[in-house]
Structure 1
Amino acid sequence: MDNEESRYMELFDDLVKQTFSIIYSTPLNPAEHRLLSSFVRDSASPKATSLYLLKRISKDESSEQHDEQEIQRVFAEWKCLVERFRRTALISQSSDFPVFRRDKGVCCLTGRSRLWWDVLGWSQTIITPIIPDGINDVFGSAECVCDHWINMLDPNADVAQLPLLELLSVFLGDKQVELLRLALSAEPSDFEVCRKYLTLSKPAAAAFREGRILVAPNWNTKRHPVEDLKSTCPYRVYGTMPDLVALPITYQGHSLRSGEGIRMMTPNPKSAPLPSSFLLCIHSHFCNSLKSLEVNRHMLAKRPSRISTPWLSRLRQACFARVFPWARGLWSYFPRRGRVWVYRQLLRVGAGLYEKPNFWTQRVPFGLYIKHGRTKLIPKGEAPALQLVERFTNIPAPRLVDYVVDNDYAYLIMTRLPGRPLMQELYTMSYPERTAFANDMRACIQQLKNIPNTNKSVICDANGGPVFDYRINGRGGGPFQSETEFNNFIITQERLRNPCHSRPHNICFTHADLNANNILVEDGRLSAIVDFGCAGYFPEYWEYTKAMFSTPGLDSSFPQVFEEIFGDSHRDELEAEIKLWAVRSPF
């Protein structure tokens, strides 16, 4: 078992779980909880780090207040250390600098260099250290003075001694810290300078410094420790969550994609070697903590106020409610082929202006989205589902503009709503905001449940046809005349049948795909629910289990917020579904 696999397995140790429980019981905001938990989660040995943390808070077992203060102190120390990894002095580029001679002014991550038309130097690349030079101060002594953060906890304290070197040793391990000290204190020869610096574009340098980008060697560093001394080496670039700002643009014109492979090269590995993979690995350990600092700043900053006043917003909504149905009806009288031609032109313009959220959906001008593709790929029940939502509820959802099929190619046009996906926004939401968001979601789900079923079938899509659902093998089936028939379809093996499958459930209208990308948030509140492609009439537990279906692999905050939305009334059904997912998942 290699070190990375061993570290991953330690995260499931009871001692580590106990430490996480203590961390999240400390009165901090979500970003601060994430920052402190990264001290354990991203360390070389989560179990050893947990032991260190528990040892510090158990000095006075009789006092819970002492435990909380000690956790706060560890948090302050860790935050101070991470801040040192963030502070860095960028080096001006000059032709005789060895890193410039190696990289020729081209960004190591994006492949971009200064644009020919940029006379002001906006696109100029800069040379930045992998590990900030300020970390050398940590090695100056076992104790480093940093009174700012401790004064936040104890205003009467004049000076507080923070054991930053001790904290660094716990986080990385003594051996790694010693190697780091030797690497940073090496004689400043051309060889060593090239090992410690990267050439990056300004956006890439900011992303690297803030922990938004993680650069990992794409080879086994244990078996090939000197691979980075060759003339070329493969790496992979990963973006850390949440994605508050788009990743830098590559020379090909698209944003750097998480998991994208890159290759660093040097004309002379002996005199101008590639950046040290060891230092890049050290940086990767701090990426989540650096990102948490950025998220915390985002949370503490004042949220931008809405441009429009409440009365103006209500007036705009009232005008839209009156004008939109009339305009939509008028547009429907235009010939079908003419409408299709307009949609194709909008798709061409939209492709040049906006990024595609997925393969079949494109944002276009005039505040619209177009979902398009072969009819078998575009759910037939989505258009009638949007009509039902518009007719029976007032939840913030897209309004259907048109649905047209031309030569087995479907176009579904709908309005665009404000907000960013919950996948990106949840990290920046405070606990009170998460509670308010859960209340908003609960109210919307209740409205969906109240939509009547006028179809002959019991379990079906909005139009009474077969259901379309990523959870179901083959992504569809039915329509079904009873819940028993539906259960017989989704239960592939009799041994997986659970007593809850014999329990009758109310059948109600369900979005059926409330994953974190289909829920939009603005200013900490629910702003829209989108993508009704899977919507239809399902057993009442289906909304909850399908929401949880999307959470494996995500941060624990996501299942927690869904638990707050739905409660625990369908816990048995979730356990039964998890067993079914494991045996036969469409993915």
Structure 2
Amino acid sequence: MTRNDPMAQQPINYATLALELIRRAKLPHPNGELLKCYVKESVGNEVAARYFLKRCSRSRCCEGTGLQGFLSDWKKLVSSFRWIHVSRGILQRQQNQSYTYLKSVTCKANSILKWLAVTLIVAFFAVWRLMPGNVRMRGYKALAYVGKRIYPASESFKIQRLPFGLFLKGTDLRWQQGLINEYHALKMIPRYCTTAVPRALDLVSDSDDIYMVMTRIPACHLGLCFDTLDDAEVEALIRDLRKFVTELRAIPRAPEAEGKISNVIGEACFDHRINLGLTFDQGRGRDFVGPFANEDEFNDILTHPGVPDVRHRSGHPIVFTHGDLNMRNVMMENGKLSGVIDWENSGFYPEYWDYTKAHFITKINKRWLGIVDRVFSPSGEFETELETEFKYWRYCQ
């Protein structure tokens, strides 16, 4: 190249080179993330990256040099802050924010006591549901009042933790179909799946609101503990999620409903992805669409006039689907999958739907998306469907 060649004038981006070296090293978690933080978070990241590359380029025969030597030195420095230990302690305290008897009944060693506690709660609600709806509504509102003063605010304005290991989920009647769908899903799933879900205990409404009462899964959201999981825990999570997805897809349907795309009880679908390309229709209702007799009808509503040449193929098996699989809805306890929550979007959809929806909801956390790819890989190859969805998303979002 000559001196006037524009390629010769481009400065070297040391940070980019350093990050590429770290990526190619394929270090176990969290080693790779620690080195990336060193490059990205340094006050002068180009200077830091240049020093990192210089250390890594030294002769391997020199003790303490190279990538592993740098990693060892960096881990000694950051370990003094003990961030991972602190975060684990916070999570442990969060999981223990319950009454003493709830701690004991969620312990494997006390499975009999746990069974007894659940049996008593279920028996109580079997009798309680005989009470008039307005009486139950007043009772739940009173419990919600107490819960707001005992427990920290929920991540969702629709959810309130209650005493006695319960949760109250409510909405106004305009959105009642979503809550009714979740109630029926929680009733059905335990008959076919071993993965824990909240136990639906009651569904009641008045002239303004509808409430569902369900049991609490004693755990924390995956998103809160995700960075503390080591590679072995991630592998166990992948195995557990694969089993969960396989069990979901095996849930049977009535023969007359085969091929139909609908919610759990055969009625209209409620899904934020479907609503993405739709304008609100007063006659249709609050973004509940369908049901669809077949996949061709479903594809018709996904098709957008702005990208008329983009369309999903038909012919996918229609299987039971969670519809909102993300790190908020996957629950963990002691580094293991303990349950899955939030089933209002569930229903029977094409087999790729849970996979593409997971990518739709989360687009930045590559480690989680890598887990999603591995969880669904035994179920089929859905790259074409994901690319079709990306084309829709780029236009509609």
Correspondence list, 1:117-196, <5 A: none
CA distance in 1: counterparts of 2:190 and 2:298, whole angstroms: 28
Aligned to 1:329: 126
Would the aligned equivalents of 2:303 and 2:310 in 1 still touch at CA under 8 Å?
no
Gaps of 5+ in 2: 1-12, 97-102, 279-286
Would the aligned equivalents of 2:238 and 2:374 in 1 still touch at CA under 8 Å?
yes
Aligned to 1:232: none
Correspondence list, 1:443-462, <5 A: 443-454=243-254, 456=257, 458-462=260-264
**Structure 2 CA distance for partners of 1:324 and 1:452, relative to 1, 3 Å:** farther
Aligned to 2:283: none
Bigger drift between 529-538 and 347-356 goes to 347-356
Aligned to 2:69: 73
Would the aligned equivalents of 2:319 and 2:349 in 1 still touch at CA under 8 Å?
yes
Secondary structure class of the residue paired with 1:387:
helix
Correspondence list, 1:232-381, <5 A: 293-295=82-84, 312-319=109-116, 322-354=119-151, 355-378=153-176, 379=178, 380-381=180-181
- Residue 125 of structure 2 aligns to which amino acid in structure 1? R
1:557 to 339, 342, 367: 367
Correspondence list, 1:477-492, <5 A: 477-492=289-304
Aligned to 1:163: none
**Structure 2 CA distance for partners of 1:486 and 1:370, relative to 1, 3 Å:** same
1:465 to 248, 267, 270: 267
Aligned to 2:33: 34
Would the aligned equivalents of 2:268 and 2:289 in 1 still touch at CA under 8 Å?
yes
Aligned to 2:20: 18
In the TM superposition, what is the alpha-carbon distance from 1:55 to its structure 2 partner? 3.2
CA distance in 2: counterparts of 1:75 and 1:580, whole angstroms: 42
Would the aligned equivalents of 1:57 and 1:67 in 2 still touch at CA under 8 Å?
no
1:514 to 317, 321, 325: 325
CA distance in 2: counterparts of 1:460 and 1:450, whole angstroms: 16
CA distance in 2: counterparts of 1:373 and 1:300, whole angstroms: 34
CA distance in 2: counterparts of 1:476 and 1:437, whole angstroms: 33
Secondary structure class of the residue paired with 1:372:
strand
**Structure 2 CA distance for partners of 1:559 and 1:584, relative to 1, 3 Å:** same
CA distance in 2: counterparts of 1:45 and 1:309, whole angstroms: 49
Secondary structure class of the residue paired with 2:348:
strand
CA distance in 1: counterparts of 2:359 and 2:395, whole angstroms: 17
Secondary structure class of the residue paired with 1:376:
helix
Correspondence 1:524 to 2:313: no
Would the aligned equivalents of 1:31 and 1:296 in 2 still touch at CA under 8 Å?
no
Percent of aligned pairs sharing the same letter: 29
Aligned to 2:381: 569
CA distance in 2: counterparts of 1:55 and 1:452, whole angstroms: 60
CA distance in 1: counterparts of 2:371 and 2:331, whole angstroms: 14
Question: Could you give the per-residue CA deviations for residues 154-181 of structure 1, whole angstroms, max 9, x where no partner exists?
Answer: xxxxxxxxxxxxxxxxxxxxxxxxxxxx
Correspondence list, 1:86-97, <5 A: none
CA distance in 2: counterparts of 1:384 and 1:68, whole angstroms: 60
CA distance in 2: counterparts of 1:364 and 1:318, whole angstroms: 20
**Structure 2 CA distance for partners of 1:353 and 1:496, relative to 1, 3 Å:** farther
In the TM superposition, what is the alpha-carbon distance from 1:320 to its structure 2 partner? 5.3
Secondary structure class of the residue paired with 2:39:
helix
Larger radius of gyration: 1
CA distance in 2: counterparts of 1:67 and 1:426, whole angstroms: 34
Secondary structure class of the residue paired with 2:202:
strand
Correspondence 1:405 to 2:216: no
CA distance in 2: counterparts of 1:33 and 1:324, whole angstroms: 47
CA distance in 1: counterparts of 2:16 and 2:314, whole angstroms: 35
Correspondence 1:583 to 2:392: no
- Residue 294 of structure 1 aligns to which amino acid in structure 2? W
> How well do the aligned residues superpose, as a CA RMSD in angstroms?
3.2
Aligned to 2:7: none
Would the aligned equivalents of 2:106 and 2:114 in 1 still touch at CA under 8 Å?
no
- Residue 84 of structure 2 aligns to which amino acid in structure 1? V
Secondary structure class of the residue paired with 1:477:
coil
CA distance in 1: counterparts of 2:104 and 2:123, whole angstroms: 27
Secondary structure class of the residue paired with 1:371:
strand
CA distance in 1: counterparts of 2:191 and 2:121, whole angstroms: 14
Number of equivalences? 359
Correspondence list, 1:407-426, <5 A: 407-426=207-226
Secondary structure class of the residue paired with 1:358:
coil
- Residue 19 of structure 1 aligns to which amino acid in structure 2? L
1:504 to 315, 319, 323: 315
Secondary structure class of the residue paired with 1:377:
helix
**Structure 2 CA distance for partners of 1:67 and 1:357, relative to 1, 3 Å:** farther
Secondary structure class of the residue paired with 2:174:
coil
In the TM superposition, what is the alpha-carbon distance from 1:497 to its structure 2 partner? 4.7
**Structure 2 CA distance for partners of 1:395 and 1:309, relative to 1, 3 Å:** closer
- Residue 17 of structure 2 aligns to which amino acid in structure 1? L
What TM-score comes out, normalization by structure 1 length?
0.56
In the TM superposition, what is the alpha-carbon distance from 1:366 to its structure 2 partner? 1.2
Gaps of 5+ in 1: 1-9, 87-289
Would the aligned equivalents of 1:385 and 1:535 in 2 still touch at CA under 8 Å?
yes
Would the aligned equivalents of 2:310 and 2:392 in 1 still touch at CA under 8 Å?
no
Question: Could you give the per-residue CA deviations for residues 501-550 of structure 1, whole angstroms, max 9, x where no partner exists?
Answer: 22421111111111111111000000110010101111111111111222
**Structure 2 CA distance for partners of 1:571 and 1:409, relative to 1, 3 Å:** same
In the TM superposition, what is the alpha-carbon distance from 1:44 to its structure 2 partner? 4.3
What TM-score comes out, normalization by structure 2 length?
0.80
Secondary structure class of the residue paired with 2:204:
strand
In the TM superposition, what is the alpha-carbon distance from 1:372 to its structure 2 partner? 0.9
The structure whose residues are more often helix, as a share, is 2
